[in-house]
Structure 1
Amino acid sequence: MSQPQSRYTQQNPNPLVDRSVKVPEVIQYICGDCGAQTAMQPSEFIRCKECGHRVMYKPRTTRSSIRGSLIIGPGCL
């Protein structure tokens, strides 16, 4: 007598895991010496491609801040 086939054999064992290939992200940096913008991957050494300087800065985000609307005036305290 053969065993009945399980209804779970064709389902993904972990459906929440994304199995697509991820492209390495590129991060923008600004050189501390010459000011040139350089795109680097996380696995690369931190060094400017223009002048070779090792101090690199990430540019600030342009997200709007909520804190500006939460300023409490002198009459509110």
Structure 2
Amino acid sequence: MSSQRESYQLPSQSTNYTAFATGYAAGEGSSGPTVQYVCGECAAKVSLAKGDAIRCSMCGHRVLYKERTKRMVQVECR
């Protein structure tokens, strides 16, 4: 670990951030890995990718719960 710390600097307006933000809001970049959610109203399984609208495709409800992981999680207590 270095003894010298870098201070946080705010991004400048000249960066490509605004172009990315407008593209993300317009729905570009919705390709990629999808995540499974469960609708809070009708319990249907919904797959959403980055940038998709958070809404159930069956009933239109906007409360979605992320599914629990299938892998084993072990917690060590002292």
Selected match of 2:56 from 48, 54, 60 = 48
Bigger Rg over Cα: 1
The alignment's TM-score, normalised by the length of structure 2, stands at 0.54
**Amino-acid identity (%):** 40
Correspondence 1:1-77 to 2 at 5 A: 24-67=32-75, 70=76
The CA RMSD over aligned residues, in Å, is 1.6
Residue-by-residue CA offset, 1:27-62 (whole Å, 9 max, x unaligned): 111000000001111111100000000000110002
Alignment gaps of 5+ in structure 1: 1-22, 73-77
In the TM superposition, structure 1's runs of 4+ consecutive aligned residues that sit over 6 Å from their partners are none
The alignment's TM-score, normalised by the length of structure 1, stands at 0.55
Number of aligned residue pairs: give it: 48
The whole-number CA distance in structure 1 between the counterparts of 2:32 and 2:73 is 29
Alignment gaps of 5+ in structure 2: 1-30
